[in-house]
Structure 1
Amino acid sequence: MSTFRTALLNAALTVEEQKPWPRITVDGDTWRQATLAIAAGNATLAGLWAEPDAVHMALLDDQDGSLMVLTLATTDGRFPSVGLTHPPAQRLERSITDLYGLVPEGMPDDRRWLDHDRWGVRAPLGSGAPVPTDGAPYAFLKAEGPPLHQIAVGPVHAGIIEPGHFRFSANGEIVVRLEERLGYVHKGIEGLLTNTTLEAAAKVVARVSGDSTVAYSLAFARAAEAALGVGVPQRAIWLRALMAELERLANHLGDIGAICNDAAFALMLAHCGMLREEVLRTAKASFGHRLMMDRIMPGGVTVDLHDAAPIKALTTRVRQRFPRLVELYDNTTSLQNRTVATGCLSADLARRFGAGGPIGRASGRAFDARKAPGYPPYGDLDFKMAKRDNGDVDARIWVRIDEVFESLELIEQIVDRLPPGPIAYPLAPALRERRVPQAGGLANEPHDNTTEGLAMVESFRGDVLVWLRTDDSGRVLRGAVRDPSVFQWPLLEAAIEGNIVADFPLCNKSFNCSYSGHDL
């Protein structure tokens, strides 16, 4: 246990019932000290969310990969701003203000973020006070210097993608500043996770970002299982990892081809697209759904793998065809000219923002949630963490290439070692055990007992965080999720500075942040 984590535990007012990592309530002074420690690099901000009368901050201990949640009561509707000293928290704080009406004291940016002045109310999860639409334009930040012009892109784009607005300030072709305006696909996830059934909540979380549905379902299931004390059969644990690696493989193949296509090399898109399609068809044949949506639920999985032959045939085909595509990428000078030294993200920014997935690992941040904090069965599997140091588009491609090969290895290991047995345990017995009788009460009488669960899972974009509070019956009282894109979108703004406008699609695709996962 690190010195920083020990100091926080010693300063806790109370330690709440959260598994497998603690949640502690703190006072304002401890909260401020924690934010300063994060800014100094003693821990990584892993999440920031709220309730009507409290804010929660998840911290990742970089020394051992453990997590901790700090809670601060907001009796007066205010709390010390984390973003004042740690910029990665600013958009999260703006979201908290929009949803709950809580005000971060000293926040550097108080513009509305998720609230586009179309809801008809302010703070719908807090006061819900009705307000008229004021129609005021969003105040983009100004760029000063030599003669500049602005280029407005979106929110509606030419392709079949989600909406997001990008405001470029450019000097000729050189980007001086990029500012994003997101929130167009806000779905009210936290509201949908309030006072709902476990099954309904699982389906909501599985649809936060459809291309990461397996990772989100796994994170939700692990959080729910931790809260409820539910066991999972070994076969289900390994099947979950198999689905997760198939999802990672499909998305990395798609991204590699799409990045090259944005550099006008459509041949890679065609061939990578065909491989991706084969992965999706194999997922359909093996698990009954191309994206494997709703196949992971608390307690296990909903479908078994009856025939591993299609998966073995898939890995054989990818191993035969993908290396030639890698060679094609590496030996095409015109393509390398577009990707090498383009859209560089510094190691310092990647570390400060806790950038996960290929974005962070391409800039030297050696973090993979499968390794630390880790979760089964990855501790029993042999795989390497793909990492590069250049931080450019080329490095982000190579991390994905390396991870394709690692996922193939993992898929083959899992299939060869898949244990027999059931694929799910029923939740009812575990829930009945939690309904212990109160003193002087009846055995079947419900009592006021809540527990919480926290889980971090590695998606193809990076680490996904899910927090849940449940009651005796397993009903979800509150929940919060955090997509890796939350900390990656701001870094795209930094990576594009000094590049030409025409390289933005290339940089953007090499990040491939989720709009839906970010906007929640």
Structure 2
Amino acid sequence: MYGEQPLFGLLNRIGGAPVADHGPWPRYRMTRDGWLQLIAELEGSAWSLLGLWGEPKEVYAALREDMSGDIAVVSLDCPQGRYPSLSPVRPSANRLERAAHDLYGLTAERTTDPRPWLDHDAWGVRRPLSDRPGAPSPNPGPYTFLSVEGEGLHQIPVGPVHAGIIEPGHFRFTANGETVVRLEERLGYVHRGVEGLMRGKPIAEAARLAARISGDSTVAHSLAFARAVEAALDVRVPPRAVWLRALMAELERVANHLGDIGAICNDAAFAFMLAEMSQLREAVLRAADLCFGHRLMMDRVVPGGVAADLPERGPALLLDLCAELRRRFPPLVTIYDGKASLQDRTVGTGVVATGLVSRFGAGGPVGRASGRGLDARRNPGYAPYDDLEFEVPVLTEGDVNARVWIRIREVEQSIALIEQIAKRMPGLPRGLDGTTPLPLVPLAAGQGAREGMSLVESFRGEILTWVRIEADGTVGRCHPRDPSWFQWPLLEAAIEGNIVADFPLCNKSFNCSYAGHDL
């Protein structure tokens, strides 16, 4: 059936060979000529790059045809450790290609930027995940930032160490007076070797690592890993567990959006909103703790099901939480909308064009504030969202104000989703304290290695996770791609032409993850 659809038809036509035991979407093994033809087709197409990752002698890419929704994974054997770069036609591939080079030694030919990305000359080894790791450079030179020429320009280096409790990242501003001409980011300071740590681990241990990729998205990353494993092993999750997962995901989404709205306002010198939103966020986290035994619900979503059920009083607690949010949140929205000093800072600041968002395949509030309305809960979609009523808010202004309003509307939608789930949860609670786990479906690895991929909507946007489960039931390979990979580059575009003082505001309106990006 795959051959009848546009993306699959093209891959068949250019010589892609379907690979067995890959779910839920097909994988095609390409020849080098087929890979080059695919690049040529991408030049003028509306296909999004969902992810790109490497292995010692193979490169993979996940693609989506945005009109039809077709999704496929393509791979290319790289016996010489080289492959034609996708970055000339999909700029979002560049940093992923650089990361694949740093980790696996794969070289992207004719790439738009060959500089190292994750490797800061601090590992004590080169290409740590390749078949032949190498010794580090004896005298590594400084990282080369892109040059900017022009009269009256000066540079402002910021980070990687910042004030307060915040992850490290370096930002190199080139400015003319107060106006930013270029921003260039240098990330990778919190690289923890997650992909290497997952290799050879039992599924349960790898799931704990997935839950810690980015702490504020622990439910979403756990869900993405679980769904990828379940796709690979063809595991069916109990209906109640499916709904509990969605409940946890929406609680996580509300908590993070409330925190972001307050933090954005605080960066515009309106601390009142931060205080109020922090109180609401705290109410959500306390409800999560009462319902699932952990404020962030870490390790509660596991492959095969969930590790904690709602207590008997859980639905009532959640409906009370939603009632409190419905009472206290709208007046704060009215204050935001009517505060002239806030609007002066957020309206027209940090604009990202719709075309640029589409070119990078960015989602979440960043994408939806600039007219790109994709949401993994709807496209490709997954249960139980096909049985729930919700809207995906989309704006086109693309500025800080639009990104705030997308968060506001998503909070409203998530409150409605939590109410629906609390009232319609299938099955009966199994424990009175929320700690009794649902029975997990046995995870049998089958006759050989099996592969699976998932797309899950986090509060930042789409998370892609791809796994290979070996015959012995261990994880042979896992690639988790956080939404931040496709959003960090757009922050560089958002600040261009704005003043330096507006960078914290733009940065917080994106709220990209350092840890989720650096892995």
Instruction: Please give the range of the TM-score, normalised by the shorter of the 2 chains.
Output: over 0.9
Residue in 1 that maps onto 2:104 = 100
Look up the equivalent residue of 1:6 and give its one-letter code: G
Residue in 2 that maps onto 1:511 = 510
Aligned-pair Cα RMSD in Å: 1.3
Report the Cα offset of residue 9 of structure 1.
3.0
Q: Give yes or no for contact 1:118–1:133 (8 Å, CA) kept in 2.
A: no
The equivalent position to 1:125 in structure 2, one of 106, 124, 129, is 129
Structure 2 SS opposite 1:365: coil
Quote the Cα distance in structure 2 between the aligned partners of 1:19 and 1:174.
49
Q: Give yes or no for contact 1:56–1:71 (8 Å, CA) kept in 2.
A: yes
Q: Are positions 1:377 and 2:384 aligned together?
A: yes
The equivalent position to 2:141 in structure 1, one of 136, 141, 144, is 136
Residue in 2 that maps onto 1:288 = 293
Structure 2 SS opposite 1:312: helix
Report the Cα offset of residue 106 of structure 1.
0.8
Quote the Cα distance in structure 2 between the aligned partners of 1:96 and 1:345.
28
Q: Deviations over 1:132-175 (max 9, x none)?
A: 44241110001112210000000000121100000000000000
Residue in 2 that maps onto 1:160 = 165
Residue in 1 that maps onto 2:456 = 457
Quote the Cα distance in structure 2 between the aligned partners of 1:112 and 1:175.
25
Per mean C-alpha deviation after superposition, the further-off stretch among 58-67 and 138-147 is: 58-67
Q: Are positions 1:352 and 2:356 aligned together?
A: no
Q: Deviations over 1:243-288 (max 9, x none)?
A: 0000000000000000000000110000001000110010000000
Q: Deviations over 1:86-129 (max 9, x none)?
A: 21111111111101111111112111110000112110001211
Structure 2 SS opposite 1:368: coil
Q: Are positions 1:391 and 2:398 aligned together?
A: yes
Seen in structure 2, the aligned counterparts of structure 1 residues 315 and 426 have a Cα distance that, compared at 3 Å, is: closer
Report the Cα offset of residue 60 of structure 1.
1.4
Total equivalences in the alignment: 505
Alignment of 1:410-425 (within 5 A): 410-420=417-427, 424-425=438-439
The gaps in structure 1 that reach 5 residues or longer are 436-446
Residue in 2 that maps onto 1:114 = 118
The gaps in structure 2 that reach 5 residues or longer are 431-436
Report the Cα offset of residue 30 of structure 1.
1.7
Per mean C-alpha deviation after superposition, the further-off stretch among 312-321 and 415-424 is: 415-424
Report the Cα offset of residue 475 of structure 1.
1.4
Q: Are positions 1:84 and 2:83 aligned together?
A: no
Q: Give yes or no for contact 1:232–1:425 (8 Å, CA) kept in 2.
A: no
Structure 2 SS opposite 1:129: coil
Residue in 1 that maps onto 2:72 = 68
Residue in 2 that maps onto 1:493 = 492
Quote the Cα distance in structure 2 between the aligned partners of 1:299 and 1:217.
11
Quote the Cα distance in structure 2 between the aligned partners of 1:315 and 1:353.
35
The equivalent position to 2:283 in structure 1, one of 278, 286, 294, is 278
Report the Cα offset of residue 193 of structure 1.
1.6
Report the Cα offset of residue 425 of structure 1.
4.2
Alignment of 1:434-449 (within 5 A): 435=446, 449=448
Alignment of 1:126-275 (within 5 A): 126=130, 127-275=132-280
Structure 1 SS opposite 2:151: coil
The equivalent position to 2:338 in structure 1, one of 331, 337, 340, is 331
Residue in 2 that maps onto 1:438 = none
The alignment-based identity, stated in percent, is: 57
Look up the equivalent residue of 1:506 and give its one-letter code: L
The equivalent position to 2:368 in structure 1, one of 361, 377, 385, is 361
Report the Cα offset of residue 14 of structure 1.
3.7
Residue in 1 that maps onto 2:434 = none
Report the Cα offset of residue 49 of structure 1.
0.1
Q: Give yes or no for contact 2:214–2:516 (8 Å, CA) kept in 1.
A: yes
Q: Deviations over 1:206-252 (max 9, x none)?
A: 11000000000111111111111211110000000000000000000
Seen in structure 2, the aligned counterparts of structure 1 residues 164 and 179 have a Cα distance that, compared at 3 Å, is: same
Quote the Cα distance in structure 2 between the aligned partners of 1:155 and 1:272.
28
Q: Structure 2 length as normaliser, TM-score?
A: 0.95
Residue in 2 that maps onto 1:301 = 306
Look up the equivalent residue of 2:508 and give its one-letter code: K
Q: Give yes or no for contact 2:457–2:463 (8 Å, CA) kept in 1.
A: yes
Quote the Cα distance in structure 2 between the aligned partners of 1:251 and 1:409.
16
Quote the Cα distance in structure 2 between the aligned partners of 1:285 and 1:82.
47
Look up the equivalent residue of 1:297 and give its one-letter code: V
Quote the Cα distance in structure 1 between the aligned partners of 2:166 and 2:510.
14
Report the Cα offset of residue 2 of structure 1.
4.0
Structure 1 residue ranges, 4+ long, deviating more than 3 angstroms after superposition: 421-428
Quote the Cα distance in structure 1 between the aligned partners of 2:453 and 2:162.
36
Q: Deviations over 1:271-312 (max 9, x none)?
A: 001000110010000000000000000111011102222111
Q: Give yes or no for contact 1:2–1:61 (8 Å, CA) kept in 2.
A: no
Look up the equivalent residue of 1:187 and give its one-letter code: R
Residue in 2 that maps onto 1:340 = 347
Q: Give yes or no for contact 2:363–2:483 (8 Å, CA) kept in 1.
A: yes
Q: Give yes or no for contact 1:50–1:96 (8 Å, CA) kept in 2.
A: yes
Q: Give yes or no for contact 2:47–2:66 (8 Å, CA) kept in 1.
A: yes
Quote the Cα distance in structure 2 between the aligned partners of 1:35 and 1:193.
31
Q: Structure 1 length as normaliser, TM-score?
A: 0.95
Structure 2 SS opposite 1:87: coil
Per mean C-alpha deviation after superposition, the further-off stretch among 4-13 and 226-235 is: 4-13
Q: Are positions 1:4 and 2:7 aligned together?
A: yes
Quote the Cα distance in structure 1 between the aligned partners of 2:417 and 2:43.
36
Structure 1 SS opposite 2:94: helix
Q: Give yes or no for contact 1:58–1:68 (8 Å, CA) kept in 2.
A: yes
Residue in 2 that maps onto 1:441 = none
Structure 2 SS opposite 1:70: strand
Look up the equivalent residue of 2:16 and give its one-letter code: A
Q: Give yes or no for contact 2:47–2:63 (8 Å, CA) kept in 1.
A: yes
Quote the Cα distance in structure 1 between the aligned partners of 2:481 and 2:43.
20
Per mean C-alpha deviation after superposition, the further-off stretch among 118-127 and 317-326 is: 118-127
